[in-house]
Amino acid sequence: MTQQTQVVQEIETVKALDLFRNILCFLLGFGFILTAAYHLTPMPDSYGLRDRFSYIKEHKDEFDTLFLGSSRIARGVVTSEIEEVFRNRGILWSTFNLGHPAMAAYEADFYLRKVLSWKPARLKWVFIELDKWLYTTEKFGEFTDRVVYWHSPAETRNMLESLWTHRLAWQDRWMMAASHLLQCSWKLSSFGQGPDITASLLGWTGVSDPYPSYLTEHGGYQPLENETDAEFPQRRAD
C-alpha cells in the first residue's frame, strides 16, 4: 500500500467518523426536542378539560371518590347530594365529578391512569360509566387535539388489542390500526402543538384563576341549566 493510498483511506475514515458523529448528534438532539415537547404539551382545553384535571391534580389528596364518564356523569352525578347522604349517616365523604362531555371508555381509562399516577392519598372509590370499548373513534373526533392527547403508547396498544378481537375485513382492520398509530405518532411528536407549547411556556394559557365555581363549589358537577353556549338551549329542550 502506497503512502498516498494510506492517507486517502485515513481521510475517508475521518470523514466517515465525522458523518457518524453528526448523525448521532442530530438523532440525540432531535430525540431530546421530541421528549421535551411531549412533556410540555398542555392538556387540551375542550369544554374546560384542562381546568378540570389541573384542579384535581392540585387537590388530589382531598377526595375519597371520583366519577369518570361522559356528559351523563358530568351532568347527572350531583356530588353535593352524594356527600349529604353520607353526612346524614355520620360519614364525611368527599367526592369529585371528573365526567366530561363525550368521554369514551379509552379516554376515561387514560385519565384514570393519569390521576392514579399522581398517587392521591385518600382515594378509595372510582366509579366509571359503563361504556362500549370501541375500537375506533368518531370521525368528528379523529386527529383533534383532545383525541390525539390520550393516544399514549399504552392506550394505543389497548386500542389495537381491542381492534384485533373484532371480526372485520382486513382492509378495515388495517385502516383503523393505521389511524390509531398515526394519532399516537402525533402524540409522541407533539405534531402541531408548537403554538400551544409556546403559549403555555409564556403563561398565556393554563388554569384559570380563580377556578370556575363548578369546580370549587360543586365538586365538578356541571348542571346543564348553567350552560350558555349556543348548543345547550336545544339540548335542554330535548
Distance (Å, whole) CA 205 – CA 45: 9
Of the candidates 46, 43, 97, 106, the residue with the CA atom closest to the CA atom of residue 68: 97
* 71 assigned to some structural domain: yes
Q: How far is CA 201 from CA 8, 145, 168, 189, 220, in A?
A: 50, 18, 44, 18, 27
Query: Is it the case that residue 231 has pLDDT exceeding 80?
Result: no
* 105 assigned to some structural domain: yes
Confidence of residue 206 (pLDDT cuts 50, 70, 90): low
> Do 212 and 108 share a structural domain?
yes
> Do 50 and 108 share a structural domain?
yes
Q: Which helix (H) or strand (E) holds 127?
A: strand 125-128
The predicted pLDDT at position 140 comes to 61
* 212 assigned to some structural domain: yes
Q: What percentage of the chain reaches a pLDDT higher than 90? A: 37
What is the extent of the structural domain holding 118?
A: 44-132+206-223
Average pLDDT of the residues in 92-118: 92
Average pLDDT of the residues in 184-200: 90
Which range, of 30-44, 131-145, 179-193, averages the lowest pLDDT?
Answer: 131-145
The predicted pLDDT at position 207 comes to 53
> Do 125 and 80 share a structural domain?
yes
Contact 63, 96 (CB under 8 A): yes
> Do 107 and 65 share a structural domain?
yes
Average pLDDT of the residues in 78-86: 93
> Do 176 and 128 share a structural domain?
no
Count of domains observed in the chain: 2
Distance (Å, whole) CA 173 – CA 50: 33
79: buried, middle or exposed (CB in 10 Å: 19+, 13-18, 0-12)? buried
Amino acid identity of residue 120, one-letter, is P
> Do 213 and 128 share a structural domain?
yes
* 19 assigned to some structural domain: no
Global pTM value: 0.82
> Do 212 and 94 share a structural domain?
yes
> Do 109 and 95 share a structural domain?
yes
Query: Is it the case that residue 173 has pLDDT exceeding 90?
Result: no
The predicted pLDDT at position 87 comes to 92
> Do 128 and 61 share a structural domain?
yes
What does the block give as the cell for 38?
411531549
* 60 assigned to some structural domain: yes
* 199 assigned to some structural domain: no
Please state whether 44 falls in left (phi above 0), alpha (psi between -120 and 50) or beta.
Answer: beta
Of the candidates 190, 96, 117, the residue with the CA atom closest to the CA atom of residue 149: 190
* 86 assigned to some structural domain: yes
Distance (Å, whole) CA 157 – CA 164: 11
> Do 48 and 126 share a structural domain?
yes
> Do 112 and 61 share a structural domain?
yes
Confidence of residue 227 (pLDDT cuts 50, 70, 90): low
Confidence of residue 98 (pLDDT cuts 50, 70, 90): very high
* 108 assigned to some structural domain: yes
What separation, in Å, do the N-terminal and C-terminal C-alpha atoms of the chain show?
90
> Do 99 and 210 share a structural domain?
yes
